[in-house]
Amino acid sequence: IWSFVAAGLYPHEKRYVHTYLPISVVLFVFGVVLCQFFVMPKTVAALLWFNEYVGVTPDLRLSEWLGLAILLPVVFGLSFQTPLVMMFLERLGLADADTFKRKRKYAMFGLAVFAAVITPTPDAITMMYLWLPMVALYEFGVWLAVLSPHRRRLDDVDVPESEELIEV
């Protein structure tokens, strides 16, 4: 697959892939591992406790369990890409560290809504288990935006104005 994709990339684009793909994979795997070994047991326990509290005997189905066991780690892995997305936005000049700091309240609310919508279970416990790491990753993304070397925007570059027009 890489041979097919690499054939269409410029050398500087290949360098970006070699630089950021390992970071992305590590963040994804960290999110999946956190979900699998910490969040999944607590989520299942919370769901079973709720059934016990209501007095309903749970009807566990393999298809629903597999759906939860596959979807939840993928959601966590993708959500852990937040710092990279923020770094790319900063590199593209669409946002900077000051923007991320000023819009922190809105970002926290947006992350909470995202966590509530994207988690496959309706409980607030799983939502909180996703939201809290995403808040920490948002702060890490702000830190990356502060420390990353800023590129000069095209607006900041002094372009000499020509006195004569060139017709093509």
Q: What is the pLDDT of residue 51?
A: 77
Q: What is the pLDDT of residue 162?
A: 54
Q: With contact defined as beta carbons under 8 Å apart, do 65 and 55 qualify?
A: no
DSSP secondary structure letter of residue 36? I
- In angstroms, the CA 115 to CA 132 distance is 9
Q: Which residues of 151-166 are buried (b: 16+ CB within 10 A; e: fewer)?
A: eeeeeeeeeeeeeeee
Q: What is the pLDDT of residue 158?
A: 52
Residue by residue, pLDDT tens for the chain (168 residues) are 888 988 888 888 888 888 888 999 999 999 999 999 998 888 888 878 877 887 888 777 788 788 888 888 999 999 999 999 998 888 888 888 899 999 999 999 999 999 999 887 778 888 899 999 999 999 999 998 888 766 554 455 454 555 555 565
SS3 readout for 84-107: HHHHHHHHHCCCCHHHHHHCHHHH
